[in-house]
Structure 1
Amino acid sequence: MISAFEHPFLSGLVGDEEMAALLGIEAEMAAMLRFETALVEAQAELGLIPGETAKSIAGTIATFKPDMNALKNGTARDGVVVPDLIRQIRQAVEGPSNYVHFGATSQDVIDTALVLRVLPCLDLLDRRLAVLAGAFADLSRRFGERLLLAHTRMQPAMPIRVADRIECWRAPLQRCIERLQPLRRSIGVIQFGGAVGTLEAFGDKGTALRAALAARLNLIDVPQWQSQRDRIAELANWQSLVTGSLGKFGQDVALMMQTGGAIALAGGGTSSAMTHKQNPVDAEALVTLARFTATQLSGMHHALVHEQERSGVAWTLEWLILPQMLIAVGGSTAVAARLIKRIQTIGHDLGS
């Protein structure tokens, strides 16, 4: 494995197996097949294709196992996986197969499948952020009235309460949680427009079909957005806010350990050369993940620029970047939870 997030040992530092399972190939294929099933069912419901044909196609998809090597070769040829996937499904269908993927385009499948995978990721992150916010509040209850020496511009300033610093860790996470509901509404939408976004294959039933398809997938019905990538960029922005906020927590912990006495952690990273050292590994990982995600955010903003009705360039750039960002934000929340649990004490008693 080349990616650090799936590497046999680097993944122990920055990876997130739970998030990876929500984004991996099995989840991606299941989401694409779910789209195709919902499509034929919705089309049958509106009388656009025969009901028995829809049942046959849905039944085939329910047990369909793709030839992954053929999908790989097809993607190299076509630039997208869907043409070969549809070819394989049509070969597997007994009876008329021309209604498989009828009137849809590759982007409808891939973008909707992305949405179907991202929403469970957001649910997972919502739960984790709530736990982290609660853990910071608990730290404040335990140690909040102790004193710390504040530092401004990296220089000693004056005493503050431990609660003051912890609030700087907790409050941004709470705001990230509050941003999640409007983000879900923005990202949790159907993408269905056909070849050029006009639903031209369905005549006056196009918008009704889109609404029926959205309902079957538990998504919000909106007009096609295939070349409008602000929804995806907004998701990337939010992820950078999360990792950046947790990176601030990690940076503060690392600096507090450097000065000594301000914080005590259970365990810690060891050195192969200096056995007396306790390296702030989790804190460092949070800073690294924050910087990684901030760097990837620039790429996602480049991916906003779609030429005309569809861009193979910008779309492929999203595929390279967005899953890595999601794994990074998942890893960041997991590392932060681990680091909080290791905190034994912060600050100094008022009487000491």
Structure 2
Amino acid sequence: MIDHVDLDRASADALVRARVAAVVNAAPSISGRYPNLGPEVLLKAGVTLIDNAGGGLLHRVRDGSKIRLYGGSVYVGRREVAKGIVQTPESVADQIVEARAGMSAQLEAFSANTIEFLRRERSLILDGVGVPELQVSMADRHVVVVAPGAGYAEDLWALKKYIRHQRPALIGVDTAADTMNKLGFRPDVVVGDPTGIEESTLKAASEVVVPAQPDGYAPGIERVQELGIGAVTFPASGNPEDLALLLTDTHNAALVVTVGFQATLREFLDSGRSGSNPSTFLTRLKLGTKVIDGRAVAVLHRHRRIGLVLLLLAVTVVVAVAVTLLLTGAAPAYSDGATRLWHTITGWVAGLFP
């Protein structure tokens, strides 16, 4: 049972990971302000969603009580304690369509917050003032930054061949660093509150960057000090994902591949509802063409590998034909045909790489 207006994707993902059978929301899961993603996530996972059950629900049901759901009603024993609306994929889709009209107001509010953030952090965003120095070299290198967004573990695994061939610097943000370490991708840099990151991950990383408040206080710095791990602080009001991106830009990375970041407008607004801030928009603008989504990199790298395989296959065919002609002594007699075959094959190979 929750009381969460505009249920966002991060909260819904946490509920799905907890393997809940049903969610009863005292508040409306879609208020109409913007098309949030949480209800869709729950329904796709097979979780029953009863919506708008009333603010008194959490006071009428104690923790640990056995409840029964039927037709939108919530029962404790035989007593009905609340009644809400059972959401379906169709009802959620209809509400999402209506909520799109509210996006303009959300974007206007976000724009105002962005201007205020730029006033506070213009020296950081424009000139990189306050970005800590790192021992890990990123200059002219590819860098992969992994944040704990939706589907990030699968997207990271899809990049394993790219990582093996390009050997980029790896940055793990918050709990995504733990996942990287478990999958065998040792993070070079960990950015986030150390209290939520496993000890083995902190020790495996080459460097730890702890986000700090503008006054310099860094929550969690005591933990890395107790573990005897060196760490630097990064005073700023941006979120850890954006601080990681600013690190790559200030240290002259050639290309920044993002995994677990927001890729669409809906995801961007949904992340804003769950605690993100305007630093994301300005950070993306600052990095510009350096940033590319990890899913696109995985697709491009896979196609590149397919092209190389086809090239090797073509070379093998040419060599086999040449060897056959030489062994049979037919090379002189069939020189014209072999030449035509060669031109045909080389033309076909060239067509693979326009």
- Larger % of strand: which? 2
Task: Kindly indicate which of the two structures has a greater share of residues assigned to helix.
Answer: 1
The TM-score bracket by the shorter chain reads under 0.3
**Which of 1 and 2 has higher RCO (CA within 8 Å, sep 6+)?**
1
Length-normalised TM-score, structure 1? 0.27
Greater radius of gyration (CA): 2
